[in-house]
Structure 1
Amino acid sequence: MAEGIQLKNISGNNLEQCLKCSICTAYCPVSAVEPKYPGPKQSGPDQERYRLKDSKFFDEALKMCLNCKRCEVACPSGVRIADIIQASRITYSTHRPIPRDIMLANTDFVGTMANMVAPIVNATLGLKPVKAVLHGVMGIDKHRTFPAYSSQKFETWYKRMAAKKQDSYSKHVSYFHGCYVNYNFPQLGKDLVKIMNAVGYGVHLLEKEKCCGVALIANGLSGQARRQGKVNIRSIRKAAEQNRIVLTTSSTCTFTMRDEYEHLLDIKTDDVRENITLATRFLYRLIEKGDIKLAFRKDFKMRTAYHSACHMEKMGWIIYSTELLKMIPGLELIMLDSQCCGIAGTYGFKKENYQRSQEIGSGLFKQIRELNPDCVSTDCETCKWQIEMSTGYEVKNPISILADALDVEETIKLNQ
């Protein structure tokens, strides 16, 4: 191309920059195990040229895409390949969500109902007859293990046990806890509050929070995802007006709000995008600048293997979580080879995807078993579900490991 000449984009996701090198297909975890999937280059830039002319060129096989973004990480030209695929599904797909898709996608509704009778729900979902019904009637694979629900929501614990004392701190952050923390694993939220309070920060919930919407987007409910996204962004703007950074503990929630809202849901986020950040990134930067200090228990010992979640790779933030873990004197950190675990949120729950999901993650599972660590660490909750179910090893968020290793009293002294 002559110097100074730039290609004119005719689409919103710069498909014109595609070199047709097929590196994206080589890195695609679905293409590696599923011959029926056209691959990201063909599904994305190649077919989009035809879809722009006539919607009949849309192929429902695009639903096999994990939206893992590994194609975009690999692309030498920065083409938003996965966004092209997801946007075309939103625009052209004639498939309508079935009851299973609606149930899996509406995490706030299902979580609220399940929390009310959590012991019964947890016991029932593990019964073989129930699994058989879910498999045959709902299309949820009988081999899939559901994450356990908590009897008390994180929001309930926070309001009863933590809210009152947060104003006593001189510095403040807001926390987007997400569905997983609220309904399944409140301990992760408690761990974040513990750490932030120890370093002198009050933690506040957003004025109003909805599910980030990633499951809604994946299951063909983009309209609902957009409505919920607008609620979240309004609350994040209010936090920004109070000079509060919004912390998260989920890589996928973070990525969805920072990038998917604008690219796929047409929600303006440029004014608050940089106000949303993963807690490990926020903490690492504070430590690097010398603004806070951490002290750790002398008796803490752990050998953990870190799994690089796909959306962490896309954001380029793995270094923040891993470098933070390396600061713990009693922790031996092993980096697992970068591989997709295969679950992709609700994708791996569906019986038509289950076998493919497990084949994608098989190399990762084998590696974990061979290493035999005390636990696995990752920043993605659905990766946690997949790895725990498929290997039997406990999986912890880096924040929870940090909280377990922290000498709270000494840390408070260092930061006074």
Structure 2
Amino acid sequence: MEYQIKNISPNNLEQCIKCTICTVYCPVLAVNPDYPGPKQAGPDGERYRLKNPEFYDAALKYCLNCKRCEVACPSNVKIGDIIQTARIRYDKRQVSLRDRMLASTDFMGKMATSMSFIVNTALRMPLTKSVMDFTLGIDHHRNFPTYSSETFESWMRREAPDQSSFPRRLSYFHGCFVNYNNPALGRDFVKLMNAIGYGVSLLEKERCCGVAKIANKMVDEARRDARLNIGSIRKAVSRGQQVIATSSTCVFTIRDEYPHLLDVDNADVRDSILLATAFLNRLVDEGRVKLVFRKDYRRRITYHTPCHMQKLGWAIHSVSLLRSIPGLTLVPLESSCCGIAGTYGFKKENYAYSQAIGRELFDRIIEAGVDLVATDCETCKMQIEMSTGVKVENPVTILAEALDVEATMKANGVK
């Protein structure tokens, strides 16, 4: 199938000054000699591909789309976008059953939550993992997240009447992980927003942000879901509501990947889509809300910056909020990629590279001797917990746990 992507080719590849800084910061190139690196796979390769698609190199599949090359680039070349577009446009391989299963998060989530006990038990069994490794190519070392018996959307529908009593409202893009795997994070978000005087609404309709479908070449499906999401976001914004998410990857995909990779225009609502910690920290900085924390809260925590969070430039918001908790000791952690990159680290052919990329990060976390790791990305959570044995939580959950709800509501005039 021929995909039409208007906004990217030839992109800004001619701005590349061939400094090779991007290759220094590429986490894949350091562990995988088969990957040509961001400069060769991106702007250099695109010059050839524009002349003849036969120059497409299948090794581009090893790109994580972590965007660290773009963060490092002094010329602001959209290296990651160039590589992802080349994969979409020139890779002729059909989408496998494995890739379709990994990318169809809504479909698989609905199936799994309806029989969560059976699914969770089966996914923990070595025999099940071995069968999936042999038949599907999902590496048997990989741990799957557990599925909830109740979706966040179901819980939220029961809470809707209480949320309508707040004078200020916002809409929540909860994402697949909160809905099917970690509804507790969604409940913590509602608790936190209610304490500062905001009622929370679901979007009229919501589907997966599309990052997994984009990575697995299910572009038509990703574009369909993106259009539905943007339509719902526009309706929320037209009601005067900002749209807040708790996943850095969801926010990055909706804000930046929709127009670049899917040709879905979001210019009219982009600035109204924020990560929860960015939204909250700005309110605190502006003196519009006040957070009051429990006096008995004690934690030693480190913060891991997800790659897409680094691209957004918003890690400062999560770190600032965590530092504002009096009983929390925040241990510095140098930013590096954890290696999972969504569905990438689940695939048998990528598993060893995924673990090698994250090894330095895992060692630093273990050496830090912390009680907990904070991060804004759900797949980073999966990877770090599996590879270090240290529990990982979203900063929203940590803030909600440390919060003195009654004192915060009183400080913000919430009745």
TM-score class normalised by the smaller sequence: over 0.9
- Aligned residue number for residue 94 of structure 2: 96
Mapped to 2, the partners of 1:10 and 1:202 lie a distance apart of 39
Deviations 1:148-202 (A, max 9, x none): 0000000001112x11111111111000000000000000000000010010000
Q: 2:315 aligns with which of 313, 318, 322?
A: 318
Task: Pick the aligned partner of 1:224 from 209, 221, 226.
Answer: 221
SS at structure 1 position matched to 2:170: strand
Q: Which residue of 2 aligns with 1:406?
A: 403
* 2:127 equivalent in structure 1: 129
- 5+ residue gaps, structure 2, are 1-6
In 2, the alpha carbon distance for the partners of 1:112 and 1:335 equals 38
Kept in 2, the 8 Å contact 1:307–1:335? The answer is: no
Aligned counterparts of 1:12 and 1:274: Cα–Cα separation in 2: 26
Q: Which residue of 2 aligns with 1:138?
A: 136
Out of 328, 331, 336, the residue aligned to residue 334 of structure 1 is: 331
Residue identity opposite 1:322 in structure 2? V
C-alpha change, 1:102 and 1:345, in structure 2 (3 Å) is: same
Distance 1:381 1:20 in 2: 34
Counterpart CA distance in 1 for 2:359 and 2:286 is: 40
1:6-405 pair list within 5 angstroms: 11-160=9-158, 162-405=159-402
Does the aligned pair in 1 maintain the 2:377–2:394 contact within 8 Å?
yes
Instruction: Letter of the 1:197 partner, please give it.
Output: N
1:10 Cα shift? 9.6
What CA deviation, in whole Å up to 9, does each residue of 1:277-303 have, x standing for no partner? 001000001111111111100000001
Query: Secondary structure at the residue paired with 1:52?
Result: helix
Residues 272-328 of structure 1 show CA distances to partners (whole Å, capped at 9, x for unaligned) of: 110100010000011111111111000000010100100000000000000011110
> Runs of 4 or more off by more than 6 Å in structure 1?
none
Amino acid at match of 2:103: A
Give percent identity, aligned residues only: 61
Task: Supply the AA of the counterpart residue of 2:364.
Answer: Q
Find the residue that maps to 1:168 and give its secondary structure: coil
Between the aligned partners of 2:186 and 2:9, the Cα distance in structure 1 is 40
**1:286 alignment partner AA:** L
Structure 1: distance between partners of 2:77 and 2:94: 28
* Counterpart amino acid of residue 155 in structure 2: W
Distance 1:298 1:233 in 2: 42
Q: Secondary structure at the match of 2:199?
A: strand
Root-mean-square deviation (Å): 0.9
Q: Distance in 1 between matches of 2:330 and 2:220?
A: 42
Q: How many Å separate the matches in 1 of 2:8 and 2:211?
A: 27
Q: 2: distance between equivalents of 1:69 and 1:335? A: 22
Q: Using the TM superposition, give the Cα deviation of residue 92 of structure 1 relative to its aligned residue in structure 2, in angstroms.
A: 0.9
CA deviation map 1:32-71 (0-9, x unaligned): 0001100000000001001111111111110000000000
CA contact (8 A) 1:387 1:393 kept: yes
Whole-angstrom distance in 2 between the partners of 1:283 and 1:61: 41
Deviation of residue 372 (structure 1)?
Answer: 1.1
| d(CA) in 1 for partners of 2:368, 2:407 | 33
Change (3 A) 1:410 1:15: same
Alpha-carbon contact 2:304-2:333 (below 8 Å) kept = yes
SS in structure 2 at match of 1:204: strand
CA deviations over 1:213-243 (Å, ceiling 9, x no partner)? 0000000101100000000000000011001
Paired amino acid for 1:188: L
Alpha carbons 2:8, 2:81 under 8 Å: kept: no
TM-score under structure 2 normalisation?
0.97
Note the C-alpha offset of 1:271: 0.5
Q: In structure 1, what residue type is equivalent to 2:259? A: E
For residues 256-277 of structure 1, give each alpha carbon's deviation from its aligned partner in whole angstroms, at most 9, with x where no partner exists: 0000000000000111110100
Total equivalences in the alignment: 407
Q: How far does residue 95 in structure 1 lie from its aligned partner after superposition?
A: 1.3
Is contact 1:13-1:81 (8 Å) kept?
A: no
Question: Contact 2:8 / 2:261 at 8 angstroms: preserved in 1?
Answer: no
Q: For the Cα contact (< 8 Å) 1:115–1:183, is it kept in 2?
A: yes
